[in-house]
Amino acid sequence: MEFDTIAAISTPSGEGAIAIVRISGPEAIPIADRLFRAAGAKRLAKQPTHTIHYGHLEDIATGEVAEEVMVSLMKAPKTFTREDVIEINCHGGIVSVNRVLQLVLLAGARLAEPGEFTKRAFLNGRIDLSQAEAVMDLIRAKTDRAMDVALNQMEGKLSKLISGLRQALLEAIAQMEVNIDYPEYDDVEEMTRPLMLEKAEWVQQEIEALLQTSSQGKILREGLSTVIIGRPNVGKSSLLNSLVQENKAIVTEIAGTTRDIIEEYVNVRGVPLRLVDTAGIRETEDIVERIGVERSRKVLKEADLILFVLNYAEQLSDEDRQLFEVVKDMDFICVINKTDLEQRIDLEEVQQLAGDHRVLTTSLVEERGIDALESAIADLFFAGQVTQNDLTYVSNARHIALLHQAHATITEAIGAAEADMPVDMIQIDVTRTWEILGEIIGDTADDGLLNQLFSQFCLGK
């Protein structure tokens, strides 16, 4: 399969020391040669692969020098796309990198679509679909653990596991085909059922093991949605600032200061938190504050973890007790703040209302208790779970959904076999499982799915 030649800026927009314009396709090197000028009239087409060359780009319309550059030359097939690839390293200003891109486009390249470089790597067989998706996961990783998960997937660990499951199913399908084609031989059927059951049950167990990692993997990829709640002026914004280690939220003694949702990402001991500071939940006549309170209630319903903040210097109110009732079936940690002040809260009642959930004390003014809170969050997330070195995490929502479908179909196949259903009926479910697993790595993915997935990538990747 041969494509046209594409180009895009592969570095973030803005000012920086260096920016890169990437070109990939059959005309990548000729296009670069039309623009590149170096000492001794050096032609890139005659240079060895995986080398870098200093020179200038020339505006072919005017003949004037347009930019001073370093050009990286990588010849197919040992490139990311398995095509000829040129990377032009230029100065990192907005004007300079856009000028270089315009010169490349005028010289014959086409502007790449989002994710088109990675899509070509997939279509040219360098990576499978799960590895392609891991490229974007790697770019978006917010913690070391999330990055390790993405790297493992890019290296093909998930792909190898899925391919092994599909191979086992394929062997079972082949045996069933023999049974269907030669029904007159009873010994064939006697051999088929035990073999099919053995392989199907193994596949079922492997899928279940993958799904056990899915909740952690998804959170490592997307972040743990963590909502800070409590009555006004208990220290919610101070807690956000302490975890983020920046003054993101306005902190005052005036109740109702936070009127809207404030959202920040923070890495807490390897756990990525999508941290949300909410308006204090209370009854209020202030129209603007009331809107903030309603938004807080909505965000609360979507939370993975709740940090419920109470005031050490105030007695529990009916509003506090109502909030305990709201969050009782959710994962929450109760944080009693302002221990630097005189105690008025009934700690025994708090523990009774919290039940089995953790109760911690902090003084954010004196910076006490944050370490214990971070440790509790990490313990809650990783308690009793595998670590990132144990096995492959499944972190992608698409993969998780497909694994659930595959688990359902292989379970139906096992049930049908145990009920002595005809072999051709069992084969339908086994084949469907094989196809569903193929969608994860792209073997059975259609063009619509591919276009949708790669459209979510950034330009230049």
Query: Quick one: CATH architecture of 6-112?
Result: 2-Layer Sandwich (3.30)
Radius of gyration over alpha carbons of the chain, in Å?
Answer: 29
CA distance linking residue 448 with residue 461, whole number of Å: 19
How many beta carbons lie within 10 A of that of residue 303, not counting itself?
21
DSSP class per residue in 67-108? EEEEEEEE-TTSSSSSS-EEEEEEE-SHHHHHHHHHHHHHTT
Query: Quick one: CATH architecture of 132-213+393-454?
Result: Up-down Bundle (1.20)
Segments of the chain assigned to CATH 1.20.120.430? 132-213+393-454
Query: Quick one: CATH architecture of 220-382?
Result: 3-Layer(aba) Sandwich (3.40)
What is the pLDDT, as a whole number, of residue 79? Answer: 95
- Tokens 């109502």, located at residue: 322
And the tokens for 343? 């105690």
C-alpha closest to that of 339 among 320, 365, 357: 365
CA distance linking residue 59 with residue 96, whole number of Å: 13
What is the pLDDT, as a whole number, of residue 247? Answer: 44
Segments of the chain assigned to CATH 3.30.1360.120? 6-112
The 8-class DSSP code of residue 316 comes to P
351-378 burial by CB neighbour count: b if 16+ within 10 A, else e? eebbeebbbbbbbbeeeebbeebbebbe
pLDDT digit string (tens) for the chain, length 461 residues: 568 999 999 988 878 889 999 999 999 999 999 999 998 888 999 999 999 999 999 998 888 999 999 999 999 999 999 999 999 999 988 899 999 999 999 999 999 998 899 889 888 989 888 888 877 777 777 666 677 777 877 778 888 899 999 998 988 888 777 666 655 555 555 556 777 888 899 999 999 988 887 766 766 766 778 888 888 788 887 888 888 775 443 333 333 333 344 567 777 777 778 787 665 444 444 444 454 456 656 667 777 888 999 999 999 988 888 888 888 888 889 999 999 999 999 999 999 999 989 999 999 888 899 889 888 888 877 654 434 444 466 777 788 899 999 999 999 999 988 888 887 888 899 999 999 999 988 887 667 766 767 776 666 66
What residues does 65 pair with on adjacent strands? 58
Find the helix or strand (DSSP H, E) in which 165 lies.
helix 157-181
Helix (H, G, I), strand (E, B) or coil at 228: strand
How many beta carbons lie within 10 A of that of residue 201, not counting itself?
15
Segments of the chain assigned to CATH 3.40.50.300? 220-382
C-alpha closest to that of 137 among 458, 451, 442: 458
Contact between 103 and 9 under an 8 Å Cβ cutoff? The reply is: no
